[in-house]
Homo-oligomer: A and B are copies of this chain.
């Protein structure tokens, strides 16, 4: 598959109709520059044979491309995937078979080496049975068989599952399309992978199921939210809140932007980069208004690799103790990316910040351009000393992982406050105010604070606790999963996970137990991309990025069940509390007790 470096979609606008030749690559090459919504038709799409059975167009899905998918139900408790519940407001009939895969490539910029070889196979499938998406979806368990779709074809890969080099992760696509998953793993672009897949072909997908559509609802403020990767586990669709499956999370030291957890408080604002202005107030020279171009050209570009974590990460574990209020995040409301932009310190100093301001001001407030129905913006603030410290590394970021910020991550500009809770890393940044007081926003004053387990909704006084800024030390197991079966004949078990601490405190050790915390083993830490030389250690107090960790431990003789536990230690030698109940709090934040996972040995 050729390399596609698409920019993220901003507003579905232009439609491009492209004729694709047999190799498809020149057309795809053109798509490379397509920022809008593209429709691509295969040659002969209207031939009689194809029209007869509706197969041809179904097959032609492989060439039809939409940049929009993944509008989910509004049920906030829904944690499933609605990959095919696609809505494209401005185009009633958009075929989406291949869409996801290629769309993902365009939308998120993943790179494949030999993408289109399979296209040839599409046209050879007309003699096979036609299946509906419903029929495919039913085959999502080992009992019912594991079916997947790829470029309009249907495959029964049940027998392949145990041979999959990537292990159980293949089940994430069960009953669904492979493309968005393969978009994340370039290895699947190899010819032999497609050859293997072709052995399992059992049918083709019905045309209608490539046409999944929905009338646009302009009254819905979320109707213009961007597409999301279908692998994300959804905690809320409006506003969108999703996290990657744990096993995918720790496959990459730098989380692909598409998989990076998404925590929105409000609808994603549609911002025209040419009209974007960042206001700055509270500096001696008066109000400042900066364009995106100003930010990019007037200030040096700094790049920082920083992990962001939602205050509610692992809330589901706290929920098991006693019900809390909040999105039921699993262990993956945390991700790691490379951020680039102007240094907040540079910008503030350029516009007059100095000792005179520092003598009065104590906070730097941020306002987003995302607004609720009353027009109130999302807002938060950080302490002034963090904002202006040379060692604070706070960015006005316009790039994530080397590309423009994705819409969900604050396009065109967000704040990145390394070491500080996600909630202060304000996205779609509209205004900065240097002030004597904290942000007065709901999210600073009456949310994102920690309380004693003794405090309930009758007794809570939000003024009694400080706004969360730096987060405590955290770690979690991402593999194996709860309830997984460990093969006794393997004689050992491999455990993987992540560890991170707030405030730039480096994780210095992760201890792993197989027996619920009675005995411990020291895991190996990974602090850079796998296979590459580890980065030099960060300066003290500036370890903004997580560590991935892994350990292989011999199975205890005769064990039927293992209670895996991990706990991390940071450079201040803070460690995680043993259990959740004593740190339980009514909002379910700061959930950083030891992570425990039970698995069976068979």
Binding stretch for chain B, among A45-53, A174-182, A235-243, A464-472: A464-472
**Contacting residues, chain B, for A521 (C-beta < 8 A):** 452, 454
Give the residue name and chain of the B residue nearest to A510 (CB): B452
User: Interface with B: A250-258, A268-276, A572-580, which one?
Assistant: A572-580
Minimum distance in angstroms from A193 CB to a CB of chain B = 40
Which of B450, B503, B575 meets A569, CB within 8 Å?
B450
Which of A316-324, A344-352, A370-378, A383-391 participates in binding chain B?
Answer: A383-391
Q: Decide: B583 and A454 in contact? CB cutoff 8 A.
A: no
A573 CB contact (under 8 Å) in B450, B508, B569, B582: B450
A576 to chain B: which residues have CB within 8 Å?
A: 577
Chain A interface residue count, Cβ-Cβ cutoff 8 angstroms: 47
- Distance to closest chain B CB from A124 (angstroms): 58
| Alpha-carbon distance between A181 and B497 when the two chains are bound, in angstroms | 55
Chain B: CB-nearest residue to A473 = B574
Contact in complex: A571, B472 (CB < 8 Å) = no
Q: Contact: A583 with B575, CB < 8 Å?
A: yes
Q: Which residue of B lies closest to A455 (CB)?
A: B522
Q: Would you call A165 an interface residue if the criterion is a C-beta within 8 Å of the partner chain's C-beta atoms?
A: no
Q: Is the beta-carbon distance between A452 and B509 smaller than 8 angstroms?
A: yes
Stoichiometry, as copies per complex, reads 2
Separation of A574 and B450 alpha carbons in the complex (Å): 11
Q: Which of A429-486 contact B (CB under 8 A)?
A: 450, 452-455, 465-466, 468-473
Interface residues of A (CB under 8 A from B): 362, 383, 385-386, 389, 391, 450, 452-455, 465-466, 468-473, 502-503, 505, 508-509, 511, 517, 519-522, 539-541, 567, 569, 571-579, 582-583, 590
A-B contact pairs, 19 of them (CB 8 A): A385-B540, A386-B540, A389-B391, A450-B509, A450-B569, A452-B509, A452-B520, A454-B522, A465-B508, A465-B509, A468-B573, A469-B572, A472-B573, A472-B575, A503-B503, A511-B582, A575-B583, A577-B578, A578-B582
